[in-house]
Chain A
């Protein structure tokens, strides 16, 4: 079946540091890949979407890319702010069905 692996459980940075979070995936389909962000006390919300056609998405200073060769997708930001502190989930939606699979999440803590 489809799977997503998100190994970084917690990342601690200082403001203006570079952020990089990585997920690997496995599927037999042509998937759509997503990054969601969850702020305390809220449900997850969409941050970025990357299709295997366009390879890249950009939003709010975050950039998501995908590498078909290594079946991995990444989230990065050049300069994080304290307000970026949140939990970040990667997710895969297989082509042909709509049963999303989520990674375990990365808790980002940014110190001022």
Chain B
């Protein structure tokens, strides 16, 4: 069974503080993604990666950095957190091959971040 795990599941941070959201996948997928979900906006792509050592900007990258140190791990980093970054963040992995599941994303359970 595909597995994507996120930590922490809940985080309260102060404005100006540093926040790191971590994601681990055991699917051996090349691609990994970070989305945020807000009411009225659906799922918006922040950063993604095609493999270890690579990161790409998504549609709303400002204020976020990403790190992909290995095939399994992909982190989202907020160097200076702001209240506007209060949201639910989802990590996902996806297969970049040519199999039947290509393009399908497998999501984690989400990380709820509150910035005060």
Chain A residues engaging chain B, CB cutoff 8 angstroms? 6, 9, 32, 34, 36, 41-46, 49, 89, 91, 93, 98-105
The dominant DSSP class at the B interface is strand
Question: Is B108 a contact of A46 with CB atoms below 8 Å?
Answer: no
Question: Is A104 a contact of B33 with CB atoms below 8 Å?
Answer: no
Tell me whether A43 and B107 are in contact in the complex, defined as CB-CB below 8 angstroms, given that A98-B31, A98-B94, A98-B96 are known contacts. yes
Question: Is A46 a contact of B104 with CB atoms below 8 Å?
Answer: yes
Question: Is A49 a contact of B104 with CB atoms below 8 Å?
Answer: yes
CB distance from A54 to the nearest CB of B (A): 12
Q: Which residue of B lies closest to A99 (CB)?
A: B48
Tell me whether A104 and B40 are in contact in the complex, defined as CB-CB below 8 angstroms, given that A93-B103, A99-B45 are known contacts. yes
Distance between Cα atoms of A46 and B48 in the complex (Å):
19
Cβ of B99 under 8 Å from chain A: no
CB distance from B82 to the nearest CB of A (A): 23
Distance between Cα atoms of A41 and B111 in the complex (Å):
10
Size of the B side of the interface (Cβ < 8 Å), in residues, is 26
CB distance from A49 to the nearest CB of B (A): 7
Question: Is B103 a contact of A98 with CB atoms below 8 Å?
Answer: yes
Q: Which residues of B contact A93 (CB under 8 A)?
A: 103
Question: Is B107 a contact of A100 with CB atoms below 8 Å?
Answer: no
Question: Is A45 a contact of B107 with CB atoms below 8 Å?
Answer: yes
Cβ of B12 under 8 Å from chain A: no
CB distance from A36 to the nearest CB of B (A): 8
Tell me whether A104 and B41 are in contact in the complex, defined as CB-CB below 8 angstroms, given that A98-B96, A98-B103, A99-B48 are known contacts. yes
Q: Which residues of B contact A100 (CB under 8 A)?
A: 33, 45, 94, 103, 105
Question: Is A103 a contact of B42 with CB atoms below 8 Å?
Answer: yes
Q: Which residue of B lies closest to A9 (CB)?
A: B40
For the A-B complex with A42-B110, A102-B43, A102-B44 known, give 19 more contacts whose Cβ atoms are closer than 8 Å: A6-B42, A32-B103, A34-B103, A41-B109, A42-B109, A43-B4, A43-B90, A43-B92, A43-B110, A44-B90, A45-B107, A93-B103, A98-B96, A98-B102, A98-B103, A99-B45, A99-B48, A100-B33, A102-B42
